[in-house]
Amino acid sequence: METPRAAGRYRIERLLGSGGFAAVWLGHDAQLDAPVAIKILADHWAQRTDLRERFVQEARLLRSVDSHRLVQVFDIGELPDGRPYFVMSYADKGTLDELLAAGPLPLNDALNLAREIAHGVAALHAHGIVHRDIKPSNVLIRSTDGADRIMIADLGIARTDDRLSSLTLPAGSPGYMAPEQTQIDGAPDRRSDVYGLGALTYHMLTGRPPSENRRLPSEVQPTIPHNIDAVVQRALEPERERRWASAADFAQALSQTLGKVDTDPLPHTRPVPKRPRRRRRLLWTAGGAVAALVLATGGTVWMVTKDDEPAPGASAPKKEHGASMGDPGGRWLRTDRGIPPQYRRLIVRAGTWCEVRGLSPALIAAMLKAESNFDPYLSDPKADEYGIARWTPSVLMHWQPGGSNNPAPRPADITPELSIPAMGRFLCSLGRQIQNVPGDPALNLAGVYRTSVDSVKKARGVPPAYKPYAQKVDQYLKDYRPN
């Protein structure tokens, strides 16, 4: 492919990428002293009037939508050989596809980015445009003001509302295209983009695009809560009538799950030196207009704007009284049984993490009493167990914020603020697998915590070797339950 020297006033420096339809080059705007991306129609298509019009239409559609979540078009023109081109924002950080090559994103990063992308697609829909090719390589990453933003690109096969009823041929990308996009005259509409958003979110959460016989996200990554399964699965429904009705609804559903997902960074009792292993971490700026997602793969700061106005009929996630107030009135736990007051809020938070039979703040408190007598400094190197909940670091790694994308915590890092909420995640995820096991559901949960799901299933309850432990938990449970 011959490198053109310039496109209008823009100097062309090097090829960024190419496909069968067009190539994208890195250019430089000398007047503004700024890098730009220049998309040029492939020379073997330049004589096709219909393809030229489609190429120019892509530029017009991008230009018509005023959103920072979409690639912006600044200029349009023709090369001396007649090939059309248009000039757009340069994504200096590459694509989401390149980011995902390293594996799944941390849970909160994936959800926030999915919500940002959904808002971008909603902006297209508000202008009567259906993208039809939502996939990681069409989500670009650009640094701006010291942070990174996503930009949706490539409207090459997009359709406007006035053309959705016309004959459509199969179009899209395998793994991300809705079933109706694989059919001749399948009449894809905005719900086809919802499917694409669901597939993209699934990929960010699990590290792979969904297949026909896909597993739930939580089955691939155990740290993913089941309410997120429901949001993503609804977007991926084969029948479009059963999907979220719009990208905006999908974004709002993600927002509601974010209210129920722990987004705290890994806590430290003291400053910890940086480790050579690269990791991704999350930082929220509470109460600000912006939430900054910190991906330490390169020290990236993601700027994620707060939600747009809630979708009609949507409500903000409810906060448990006990979780937000530390249970001062004893709604969840007795106040006269020696539960350390500094841990009550964390205990209530863990015990109300989800709805699983047997799970309660009283159970969490009883297990902490049995495990360590509420000793936050417990250290048992022989058993490799540490802290108030007797976590093994290599196990806790999977239940900490960010899951196994973060390294295993050091014993000194296993604080109550990390340990106790992790118990809630653990019991919510694995507890659902023993709901049909006979016996006391609370003690069965305690048995899983000390052994495994398979052991409790095989024993049809708490394994005999752990009965004394379960008996202690049962006694404390009775002490801590409110009257």
Helix pair angle (441-450, 467-480), 10° resolution: 130
Q: Tell me how far apart the alpha carbons of residues 229 and 213 are, in angstroms, rounded to a whole number.
A: 15
Q: Tell me how far apart the alpha carbons of residues 236 and 224 are, in angstroms, rounded to a whole number.
A: 17
Compute, in degrees rounded to 10, the torsion defined by CA atoms 171, 174, 175, 179: 50
Q: Tell me how far apart the alpha carbons of residues 308 and 255 are, in angstroms, rounded to a whole number.
A: 10
Check 29, 109, 133, 262 and give the catalytic one: 133
Q: Tell me how far apart the alpha carbons of residues 121 and 246 are, in angstroms, rounded to a whole number.
A: 9
Q: Tell me how far apart the alpha carbons of residues 471 and 36 are, in angstroms, rounded to a whole number.
A: 68
DSSP-derived 3-state class of residue 113: helix
Closest residue by Cα to residue 358 from 273, 270, 456, 286: 456
Per the structure block, which two tokens stand in for 50? 């219909």
Buried b (16+ CB within 10 A) or exposed e, 46-77: beeeebbebbeebbebbbebebbbbbebbbbe
Q: How many helices (H) and strands (E) does the chain have?
A: 15, 14
What residues have CB less than 8 Å from 460, skipping those under 6 apart?
Answer: 437, 438, 439
Q: Tell me how far apart the alpha carbons of residues 398 and 382 are, in angstroms, rounded to a whole number.
A: 21
Q: Binding residue per annotation — 135? A: no
Q: Tell me how far apart the alpha carbons of residues 359 and 443 are, in angstroms, rounded to a whole number.
A: 9
Q: Tell me how far apart the alpha carbons of residues 444 and 451 are, in angstroms, rounded to a whole number.
A: 10
Q: Tell me how far apart the alpha carbons of residues 429 and 449 are, in angstroms, rounded to a whole number.
A: 11
The residue written with tokens 């118990």 in the block is: 423
Task: State yes or no: is 133 an active-site residue.
Answer: yes
Closest residue by Cα to residue 482 from 271, 319, 333: 333
CA 416 to each of CA 335, 390, 391, 411, 420: distance values in angstroms, whole numbers, following the listed order: 19, 10, 11, 12, 6
Please say whether the beta carbons of 422 and 405 come within 8 A.
no
Output the known binding site for ATP. Answer: 39
Binding site members? 39
| Catalytic sites, residue numbers | 133
